[in-house]
Structure 1
Amino acid sequence: MHSSFSVWNTAPTSAPAQRAGRYVPGSADHPAKMLPALAAHAIRTYTQPGDLVLDPMCGIGTTLVEALHLGRNAIGVEYEPKWARLARLNATSAMHEGGTGCGSVFCGDARDLRELVPSEHHGKIAMVLTSPPYGNSVHGQVRSTRDSGEAGVTKKHYRYSRDPNNLAHVATDELLDAFTEILHQCRQVMRPGGTVVITTRPWRARGELVDLPSAALAAGVAAGFTPTERNVALLAGIRDGQLIARPSFFQMKNVRDARRRGVPQHLIVHEDVLCLVKPPETGGAVHESDPRSQRGGTCRTRKPRTAATFRSRVCRAEGDHGLC
């Protein structure tokens, strides 16, 4: 099934309102959460009840929560132990609060996805729904400093972590190289005809617009997927035919500062939604679009790692990864 409309009305209420009573305390601290209604719309549109959904960078588990409530099964992979624990709690809560699917969360680097996802799920994943990390200019929360006797605000919850190996902290070129590898790993565990949905948006760096959506689409093609749709998911409400923007403090500040400098910037009130499909398998040979066949000497060297290495390093004492 395909989307009937290219513009998705996914923000009739604010993000906090969508998460209220559905996500465990602490979930709001993640700097870049997927909008629950966006995840639900994508899952409802491109999968059927009982299908298996994967998010290789699941954060607090928004993809899992919405999939479980819609009767799908879900797997999440998350690099940061803190967010992986929250994703497990959110998935467990969803199953206890009416969700009919089953979910599991694994902690590790999504570039080793094929080893992290249990082999019994390989070839059965119907959909990958994810969002790559991107610029922190629109992330975070603010707190007034008036109580401390100083005028102004302080910013909090705008970092994924302080781990320099987290892809949120690397240069854009390295991020895209890694994202291509992650999508390649996803292709290896998906079923033929499965759908990949990537949500992302552009951001500004030193006054210049970084077109991450187009770069993410190119990464999907390089990983062996075929593009099918490019949609828009609104981050603003609609009232009387007009968009009702809900920008963060920092979005407003950045736009106002730019306009004072004479730069005609505007608020970004949507996510780009990129849809791709896995084509039929052509055999066991490395596909010409396999990112490993194109990198040559430009790719950073990574030591081979196994799922066991990741689990012992960042998941020790986490207990059973499966939630069902």
Structure 2
Amino acid sequence: MVPLTVWLCSDTTTDVGAAPEPSAAGSRATDGGATSRNLCLWHRHAVGRELARHLITTCTREGDLIAEGFTVNEATLAAAAGLGRHAIALVPHFPLAQHVGARLRAGLSEQELKRVQMRPVRPDQMVRGLADHLGDVALVIAAPPSYEAGGYAPRTIRERGCPACRAVLWQLTSQQLGLFLAAAWKVLRPGGVLAITTTARAQAGRLIDPAPRVIRQAQGLGFRYVQHVIALRVPIDGDALVVQAGPADLAQLRDTRSRAMPPPVNVHADVCLFTKPRRGQDGDAR
């Protein structure tokens, strides 16, 4: 059985309208207008700041290199820089790169900015984008969209003001997850960690849980599935989860007698942790 653990990952300091959280080395007071309001709720929390911190402190050491695919916000880059790591995010969509860059410049010191990069390649092109770091990466992080792991492809932009939603639609040409996992194998060093974040959701009247498909694909490439994490995205008050409804959720309130499915609430994410075996561990590394 794979060990199961729970992480508290509520990003209360970077919620809607909040300025970027100050970093350990200092920060600037304003964000130049690039606040988290620009991102929809889903993309703000795909990989939030607290989840990124948990992953980075658990799986890496100071000075290590982290790579992120399917990047939709600045959380991983900002957390890595603040924790003394180096990080590269794959952001092929220029408007999204502009948004992420503005957030980073607003929240990080000059020294921290030197530790992070963005490269304009798709997730499935990670080997090309990290050709100068093959076999050097300690941690690869990704939160692939649902259509990459068994969900339905979006037909329209969910939130027109969200640069990540526009990027998803722009990249919607073919499923990239399998190629991304294969690329992660090549860029990770032996013993490196692959962290895939997924969220089960209801689509077209059925529940879609991407995790089993992701696990099968990763194991088929030779990764070892070592831990499953439940990342709670909402605060805890005593023994209760504090779920606060936003305007969009309140607009979906329904008659309790209705047979329609209730509005979805984003309470937790599933994080699957895989390792690339070292030589001589579960067979020779490829």
TM-score normalised by structure 2 residue count: 0.77
What residue in structure 2 maps to residue 299 of structure 1? none
Q: Structure 1 residues 100-109 or 24-33, which shifts more?
A: 24-33
Summarize the alignment of residues 1-324 of structure 1 with structure 2, pairs less than 5 Å apart: 6-11=5-10, 13=12, 15-16=14-15, 20-22=19-21, 25-26=33-34, 28=36, 29-31=38-40, 32-33=43-44, 34-96=47-109, 99=112, 102-119=115-132, 121-134=133-146, 157=162, 160-161=165-166, 166-167=171-172, 175=175, 178-250=176-248, 256=254, 260-261=258-259, 267-280=265-278
Q: Name the counterpart of 1:313.
A: none
RMSD (Å) for aligned C-alpha atoms: 3.5
The 1-side partners of 2:204 and 2:237 are apart by: 34
**Unpaired runs of 5+ in structure 1?**
142-154, 288-324
Q: C-alpha offsets along residues 26-52 of structure 1, whole Å, 9 cap, x if unaligned?
A: 353234132111111111111111111
Q: Deviations over 1:252-282 (max 9, x none)?
A: 6668479721657874410001100011358
Distance 2:238 2:260 in 1: 31
Q: Secondary structure at the match of 2:165?
A: coil
Amino acid aligned to 1:122: L
Structure 1 distance, partners of 2:11, 2:128, is 39
Shift of 1:157: 3.1
Instruction: Give SS of 2:128's match.
Output: helix
Identity of aligned residues (%): 23
The one-letter amino acid paired with 2:34 is G
Assess if the C-alpha contact under 8 Å between 2:124 and 2:183 holds in 1: yes
Deviation track 1:140-167 (CA, whole Å, cap 9, x = no partner) reads 67xxxxxxxxxxxxx8538622775514
**Residues 164 and 201 of structure 1: CA distance in aligned 2, closer, same or farther (over 3 Å):** closer
Three-state SS of the structure 1 residue aligned to 2:102 is: helix
Whole-Å separation in 2 of the counterparts to 1:215 and 1:81: 30
Q: After TM superposition, where is structure 1 displaced by more than 6 Å over at least 4 residues in a row?
A: none
Higher deviation after alignment, 22-31 or 155-164: 155-164
Alpha-carbon distance in structure 1 between the residues aligned to 2:62 and 2:131? 21
The superposition leaves residues 149-205 of structure 1 with CA deviations (integer Å, 9 ceiling, x where unpaired) of xxxxxx8538622775514xx6xxx53xx2011011011011000011111101111
> Following the alignment from structure 1 to structure 2, what is the Cα–Cα distance between the partners of residues 204 and 253?
18
Partner deviation per Cα, 1:79-130 (whole Å, 9 max, x = no partner): 21111223333344454177386111101222111111142x2211000111
- 1:233 partner amino acid: A
Consecutive unaligned residues in structure 2, runs of 5 or more: 22-30, 148-153
TM-score of the superposition, structure 1-length normalised?
Answer: 0.68
**Change in CA separation of 1:126 and 1:249 when aligned onto 2, cut-off 3 Å:** same
Query: Structure 1 counterpart of 2:165, which letter?
Result: Y
